[in-house]
Amino acid sequence: MTVTSVRTDRRTATRQRIADAAARLASEHGVAATTADQIAAEAGVGRATFFRHFDSKELAVATGLADAAIFVIVGLLAEVPPQVGPLDAVRAAYARLGEDFDANRQTFLDQADLCRSSPAMFAWTLRLYVDWEMAIADAVRPRFVALAPHDPRPRMVGAMAMAAVRLACDEWLVDRGSGDLPALVQEHLDALHLPPDPRPDPRGAR
């Protein structure tokens, strides 16, 4: 798969250490109270190296918080039977992800708060979500049939998946995380099933 040498391995490991250190310090003291120097020191690297790996302090924190999860979700997507359609596969993967939600409820709440703790933190979190979108797009692409070279569908599904998570989190935070986040995510994904033909209104209104 990916080319792996001593050099690239060490670089990846360094990046990982920095992200972990950033997430740990920011979780404990808040993003604003954590300086780039502290993160670099905690990761055992120089300050310059820190900024060689991340474009901003906020991106490092966001990456440290969530970078592991992206591999989890891609892994879960791969486990869904191949004949399941793209969007249903996302639903299934998220459902699996939500199974052990209650055990980590407080962690999720803290991370969601941290991601929104400042406008800059939120902006860079959105930036990271774009990476997730692409990872999900790549993961669901094989599930499309008759896929044109630049077919927009995989990336739109990726965007939809991340939008569902983000908006579900927003809704979840309204009552300080007391609700059922996985259920909210599913509801948001279902919302996308906008009536294929909206006029007849499938919800049977009136």
All residues at 6 or more sequence positions from 95 whose CB lies less than 8 Å from its CB, including other chains? 182, 186
Binds 199, which of a second copy, DNA, none (CB < 5 to 8 A, cut-off by type)? Answer: a second copy
CB within 8 Å of 201: residues ≥ 6 apart = 195
DSSP class of residue 102 equals G
Distance CA 81, CA 94 (A): 14
Interface stretch with a second copy, choices 4-12, 16-24, 36-44, 167-175 (CB under 8 A):
167-175
Token reading at 65 = 């918080």
* Nearest-approach distance from CB 6 to a second copy, in angstroms: 28
CB of 182 to a second copy, least distance (A): 14
* Under rule CB under 8 A, residue 205 binds a second copy: yes
Which of residues 24 and 96 has its CB atom nearest to DNA in the complex? 24
Evaluated on CA atoms 132, 135, 141, 147, the torsion sign reads positive
Backbone angles phi, psi at 22, to 5 degrees: -60, -45
16 binds, among DNA, a second copy, none (CB under 5 to 8 A by kind): none
Task: Give the CA radius of gyration of the chain.
Answer: 19
Identify what 88 binds: a second copy, DNA, none; CB under 5 to 8 Å per kind: a second copy
CA distance 107 to 54: 24
Part of the chain binding a second copy (CB under 8 A), chosen from 10-18, 42-50, 64-72, 150-158: 150-158
In the complex, the smallest distance separating the C-beta of residue 26 from DNA, rounded to whole angstroms, is: 10
The least distance separating a second copy from the CB of residue 66, rounded to whole angstroms, comes to 15
Rounded to an integer, what is the distance from CA 68 to the centroid of its chain?
9
- 151 three-class SS: coil
Question: Mask of contacts with DNA, 111-140, x by CB under 7 A?
Answer: -------x-x--------------------
Q: Which is closer to a second copy, CB of 41 or CB of 167?
A: 167
Among 43, 168, 169, 181, binds a second copy (CB under 8 A): 168
